[in-house]
Structure 1
Amino acid sequence: MTHRTPPAVSFEFFPPKDLAGSFRLWDTVQSLAPLEPDFVSVTYGAGGTTRDLTRDAVATLHTASGLNVAAHLTCVDATRAETLKIAADFAAAGVSDIVALRGDPPKGTEKFTPHPDGFDNVCDLISALADTGTFNIRVGAYPEKHPEAADMAANIDWLKRKIDAGANSAITQFFFEADTFLRFRDACADAGITAPITPGILPIENWAGARAFARRCGTTIPAWLDSAFEKATRDNRADLLATAVCTELCDKLLENGVDTLHFYTLNRPELTRDVCHALGITPRVQLRHVA
């Protein structure tokens, strides 16, 4: 495998819910920071359940690590004023990157319902953030039909609306085969979308968990992956297979002109780090220590 230039990378974390989670997050950051990511992002939980945890984790990571931190921000279960106050708090902490999302509905509900005094949809949120002139705005994109979309054309139309509302770039939901992203990229270009679209990569730490996640997201599960992981798990070689599968996926994307990759780390850095090393992304700096 040869690459002329290693790709730019970014990493996604989720906020810790307890002390053990805090240690795991910091260990993950320490493990991956030497790869010099363009940015790292911190997620929101379903229904905005980790809003305060996300805000605190973003501020701490920005201060303690020196990394460029992007904060997730959603429309769920908050007024416009509350949401924009959180954005202002991010800006005051020196965080200028936001991943703007509609957000998953709260647990126990099946569909998103706007807060009576909140944003009606993610385009309204993007527009309000763009009006501040403060943020670099990233948004989500779906290379396969979103569970709530009528078809792929609706997916692409919605992404174009988000870009037109003021988003600067997009990160996709994860997928298992490179052609899924490449077809989507071409269709977006045909629709006149010129903003950068970064493929989202999910290293498979646990196939059963990844499979269940994929079913919820509408991500196609190739039959060959089912059989491959069934055999690899039986032979106690699942980690080796996961590294090979993810590296091959990334390699094919790079061969087809992709130059940035966004990894969903699940706060478990080992597999992401191994894949990055296989792609020629090697440690260049050490994470700074805070006095």
Structure 2
Amino acid sequence: MRIDEIIERSPEPTFSFEFFPPKTDEAEARLHETLETLRPMDPSFVSVTYGAGGSSRDRTINVVKSLREQHGLEAMAHLTCVGGTKDDIRGVLGQIREAGIHNVLALRGDPPGGEERFSPTPGGFASSPELTQLITDEFDFCVGGAAYPEPHPDARHADDDVETAKAKVEAGAKFLITQLFYDNADYFSFVRRLREIGVDVPVIPEIMPITQISQVRGFAKKIGARVPEGLSRELDAREDDPDAIKDFGVSYATLQASELLANGAPGIHFITMNRSPATRAILSALRLHRPWEKTPEAPAEPGDVVAPA
């Protein structure tokens, strides 16, 4: 089923999970164990990432196919512009179609390891709107795009991320999934700016439950995300207690998601890191609390305190 139809028909917010392709037999077994644990949570859909330079292309397709056929989950394949010509990518899209997959997340992709900036592959695509346009013109997929509530590291100016998101939608993207962020004000501001320029597709916020200090700071550095001062302080206070960090991370993500849903976010996309405990705890709490049924508060402005600190 197409994800745009899932979102449109869902009577409540959608909850979805992101996985990455395992590299070893042991990791694959752990992924299937995680899937069996999370399947009773009834996700609206799941997605599978695509390695830098297309390094996990075949594994991505195989995992997405397995998610559909073995686990009964509606799955989406990530696809990047990196490491392939336009004809190469047409071939990958053909494989995805033959695997019975209906949904693709079209991404520019990160530079391959060792490279600081993205360079188009000769004969390939220079941007995700170009990739989205090709998919829309030549294939019958539901296409999603990435969105950046905080400036993308390669953003050329203050409005670049909003303009790029609009270009993706004009090229055929039916929904957007944000990069992870730790301050909800950035999401609310970004969505407001999109609406002001006529972009009306669903914008699903992405959340990664914090389980390790090095993890949150590593991701933040890579994507240019801010770690609010209060969050950083509370993590530092628990740096010698891994279990306390996990407990705090679940609490922070639950309250962050609650505020997003109470103020109109169409769902939450969880980065699972191929593990289940944190995601299960957060989603269970959200479904019990049902914040989307509460009276919404005025969305916060950038710099306000919008999640526990």
User: TM-score, structure 1 length as denominator?
Assistant: 0.91
Contact 2:61–2:99 (CA under 8 A) maintained in structure 1: no
SS at match of 1:280: helix
Aligned length: 278
Q: Distance in 2 between matches of 1:273 and 1:281?
A: 12
Tell me how far 1:277 sits from its aligned partner: 0.6
Paired with 2:180 and 2:126, the residues of 1 have a C-alpha distance of: 26
Partner of 2:259: 252
Corresponding position of 1:35: 41
| Number of the residue aligned with 2:213 | 207
Looking at structure 1, the residues matched to 158 and 248 of structure 2 have their Cα atoms a distance apart, in angstroms, of 31
Q: Deviations over 1:51-107 (max 9, x none)?
A: 122122112222111111100111111111111111111111110100000111111
2:58 maps to which of 52, 60, 63? 52
SS at match of 1:237: helix
> For residues 127 and 173 of structure 2, what CA distance do their matches in structure 1 show?
14
Q: Which residue of 1 is the match for residue 286 of structure 2?
A: 279
Matching residue of 2:28: 22
Would you say 1:269 and 2:276 are equivalent positions?
Answer: yes
- 1:132, CA displacement in angstroms? 2.5
Q: TM-score, normalised by structure 2?
A: 0.86
Following the alignment from structure 1 to structure 2, what is the Cα–Cα distance between the partners of residues 67 and 132? 26
Tell me which residue corresponds to 1:8.
Answer: 14
Q: Summarize the alignment of residues 118-137 of structure 1 with structure 2, pairs less than 5 Å apart.
A: 118-137=124-143
- Match of 1:73, SS state, is strand
Tell me the distance in 1 between the aligned counterparts of 2:44 and 2:231.
Answer: 30
1:140-159 counterparts in 2 under 5 A? 140-159=146-165
Structure 2 equivalent of residue 286 of structure 1: none
Task: Find the aligned partners of 2:128 and 2:191 in 1 and give their Cα distance.
Answer: 21
Report what 2:237 is aligned to: 231
- Give the Cα separation in 1 of the matches to 2:177 and 2:44: 13
| Residue segments in structure 2 that go unaligned for 5+ positions in a row | 1-10, 290-309
Question: Is 2:73 the partner of 1:72?
Answer: no
> Deviation at 1:6?
5.7
| Pairing partner for 2:171 from 149, 165, 168 | 165
Answering whether residue 177 of structure 2 is matched by residue 174 of structure 1, we say no
Q: Tell me if the contact between 1:6 and 1:279 (Cα under 8 Å) persists in the aligned partners.
A: no
Kept in 1: contact 2:203–2:266 (CA 8 A): no
C-alpha distance in 2, partners of 1:196/1:69? 18
Between the aligned partners of 1:180 and 1:278, the Cα distance in structure 2 is 24
| 8 Å CA contact retained: 1:14, 1:43 | yes
Higher RCO (CA < 8 A, seq sep 6+): 1
Q: Mean Cα displacement is larger for which, 174-183 or 116-125?
A: 116-125
Unaligned regions of 5+ residues in structure 1, if any? 283-291
Q: 1:117 aligns with which of 123, 137, 152?
A: 123
SS in 2 for 1:275: helix
State the match for 1:288 in structure 2. Answer: none
Report deviation, 1:281.
Answer: 6.2
Change in 2 beyond 3 A, CA 1:84/1:177: same
